[in-house]
Structure 1
Amino acid sequence: MAGLLLLTGFSSIVGMLGGFAVAFGVPRWILKFLINRRQKAFAEEFANSIDVIVRGVKAGLPINDCLKIIANEAPDPVGQEFRDLVEGQRVGVSMEQGLMRMYERMPLAEVNFFMIVLNIQQKTGGNLSEALGNLSRVLRDRKKMRGKIKAMSQEAKASAAIIGSLPPGVMGLITLTSPGYMDLLFSTTLGNILIIGGACWMLCGVLVMRKMIDFKF
């Protein structure tokens, strides 16, 4: 009787911890996924927007008109960010402040480079089209390098996925072929502790492998 009560209490604690992890982990994961997707879409199109500025400046257009062209014609999220920049200038926000706000909303190295180039050009002058042209080439080279790194890391990611799926896969096969073979793991307190301990160690291993193959570039 005491063992049954202990098992029931232990199962309740496990359920509470699982519910807590789902309630706070899943929304955070979804939000991070949406942020990463938006930033990736921005980085994919940003170099093309800089080329628009380069061509406009070479044609004699002011930088503000070039920004308006991007705001009106570029796809989101690039177009949305430049619309916010242009609308901010209409209400008195300086270029430097507007670019800083863009970087706060889109904290990417590409935006930081763009902000530095425009701020330096406004303060010291110089050939803006040449500076932005060089920046565009740098961003495209970064994009190519990012693609190469992603391709090279696919093998490691596949290996990590296979290793991570082996324990639950083997456990599922054993349960199907010999249904009573693993009953002690689910019906006893010691078995539950072993399952939780194994799951924690497995989670640690998966996180370590993910950290090793998650290249930031």
Structure 2
Amino acid sequence: MTLIILMAVGGTVIIFLLVMGVLSFVGASRDEAEKKVGHRLRQLALTEVEHQSFDLLLAQSSMSQVPWFNRLLLRLKFASNISKTIRQASVKGTAGTYLLLCALLGLAGLWGGMVATGKWWMGAGLAGVLGYLPLFWLERRKSSRMNAFHKQLPEVLDLMSRALKAGHTFGGAMRMVADEFDDPIGGEFGKTLDEINYGMDVDRALKNLLDRVDVADLKFFAVSVNIQRETGGNLAEIVESIARLVRERFVLFGKVRVLSAEGRLSAWILSALPFVTAGILYFVNPDYMSRMWTTELGLQMSYGAIFGMALGMLCMRRLVSIKV
């Protein structure tokens, strides 16, 4: 009875913390961010700030609203990687918010797994899966946004090439991109142009663009612009060549995707086949199939099968993931 009471109390506390964490995440404090910006602008207006100090002031970011937790996260490399992923995914929240959400979901999974099965290792496995969900969502959002940026890039480079040939400056060509194209590429180029207009060096502004956008083909553009500024040359022809190169890489990626389609389809079929077969058997003979989770031997066989299937899925994923 005491164990049941402790589990009930623990579940209540976990659910309460989870709900409060989600509400805190959804209601991200825009007012707090505006107060910080206003405070920094007042500091700039009242004091003389050198160029390096100005850059540092703009570059400051907080990973958590809790001071001691923020100091702890600043020392951890994976926390800075999460912050970078948040910027690239263009979502609300801080690294501290997502880490706390991971911890709360992990605790909920640990408690739920132990209550449902009575085995700590099942609770630990469920805690790992649930705890990784926020980071998995972040990676998916980042991947989706970067893919959209990559698809827009050839058209953007063509537009910039035509604008440069028509006599526009590099800043004017970037302004056309920021005005004509939707997010993500329009917004990112607009931020880069704003940094240049506010006095930042072009090299550093392009470096910041590469930090915000994880697209390999964009590096060709940034490096080419920096080299052209130092050595000279026809920037319009350089940008046009990069656009052609990006399109050729798209064609190559398409061929690789077609050639690996059979392997991906086989992986999906092999992954779904055990679940489909188990469902059919349960529909035909429930008593026969229910022994897999009503007897000790059946549970052990089920756990072993799940582990083997997870390992097989990882192996098949590595086999069909071809990097070019």
Q: Does 1:171 align with 2:273?
A: no
- AA aligned to 1:114 is F
Aligned to 1:75: 182
Match of 2:238 in 1: 131
Q: CA deviation at 1:14?
A: 5.5
Go from structure 1 to structure 2 and tell me whether the alpha carbon gap of 1:8 and 1:118 turns closer, same or farther (over 3 Å shift). closer
Aligned to 1:109: 216
SS of aligned partner of 2:286: coil
Give 1:125 deviation, angstroms: 0.8
Q: CA deviation at 1:18?
A: 4.8
Distance in 1 separating the partners of 2:151 and 2:258: 17
Q: Distance in 1 between matches of 2:118 and 2:266?
A: 33
Percent identity over the alignment? 28
For structure 1, which segment, 197-206 or 18-27, has the greater mean C-alpha deviation from structure 2 after superposition? 18-27
**Counterpart residue identity of residue 153, structure 1:** S
The yes-or-no answer on 1:203 pairing with 2:279 is: no
Per-residue deviation, 1:9 = 8.4
User: Structure 1 stretch 17-26 or stretch 130-139: which is displaced more?
Assistant: 17-26
* Aligned residue identity for 1:117: S
* Aligned 1:1-217 pairs, distance under 5 A: 10-13=117-120, 16-217=123-324
CA shift for structure 1 position 10:
4.9
CA drift at 1:114: 0.8
Task: Map Cα deviations across residues 146-165 of structure 1 (whole Å, 9 max, x no partner).
Answer: 12222222221111111111
1:36 partner letter:
S
Instruction: For 1:101 and 1:95, locate their aligned partners in 2 and report how far apart those are by CA, in whole Å.
Output: 10
SS at match of 1:215: coil
Match of 2:68 in 1: none
Change (3 A) 1:36 1:8: closer
Deviates more, 1:9-18 or 1:174-183: 9-18
Amino acid at match of 2:156: S
Q: Distance in 2 between matches of 1:188 and 1:11?
A: 14
**Structure-2 separation of matches of 1:39 and 1:15:** 36
Deviations 1:52-85 (A, max 9, x none): 1111111111111111111111121110110110
Q: Return the letter of the residue paired with 2:257.
A: K
**Which range moves more in the overlay, 12-21 or 128-137?**
12-21
Equivalenced residues, count: 211
Alpha-carbon separation, structure 2, partners of 1:184 and 1:65: 71
Counterpart secondary structure, 1:60: coil
Range that drifts further, 165-174 or 77-86: 165-174
Distance 1:166 1:93 in 2: 57
Q: Distance in 2 between matches of 1:198 and 1:68?
A: 57
In structure 1, distance between residues paired with 2:254 and 2:323: 12
1:185, CA displacement in angstroms?
Answer: 2.1
Which structure 1 residue ranges, 5 or more long, are not aligned?
Answer: 1-6
Distance in structure 1 (CA, Å) of the matches to 2:308 and 2:130: 22
Q: Relative contact order (alpha carbons < 8 A, sep ≥ 6): 1 or 2 greater?
A: 1
Distance (whole Å) between structure 2 residues aligned to residue 12 and residue 62 of structure 1: 67
